[in-house]
A and B are shown apart, each in its own frame.
Chain A
Amino acid sequence: MFSYIMRRLGYMVITMVIISVLGYIIIELPPGSYVDAEISRLRQQGGNLAPEQIAALYQRYGLDKPEYVRFGLWVSGFVRGDFGQSFQYSMPVSDLIFGRLGLTLLFSFLSLILSWGIAIFVGVYSATHRYTVSDYVITILQFVGLAVPNFLLALVLMVFAQNVFKMQVGGLFSAEYVNAPFSVGKFLDLLNHMWIPIIVIGASNTAWLSRVMRANLLDVLNMQYVQTARAKGLKESVVTWKHAFRNAVHPLIMVLGGSLPGIISGETIVAIVLNLPTTGPLYFNALLQKDMYLAGAFLIFLALALLIGNLGADILLAWVDPRIRYE
Chain B
Amino acid sequence: MNAENKVERHTMAVLVDNEAGVLARVIGLFSGRGYNIESLTVAEVDQAEHTSRITVVTTGTPMVIEQIKAQLDRIVPVHKVVDLTTETHAIEREMAMVKVAGTGEKRVEALRLSDAFRARVIDTTHTSFVFEVTGTPEKIDAFIGLMRPLGLVDVSRTGVVAIARGPEAM
A, B assembled together: no
Which A residues contact B (CB, under 8 angstroms)? none
Which B residues contact A (CB, under 8 angstroms)? none
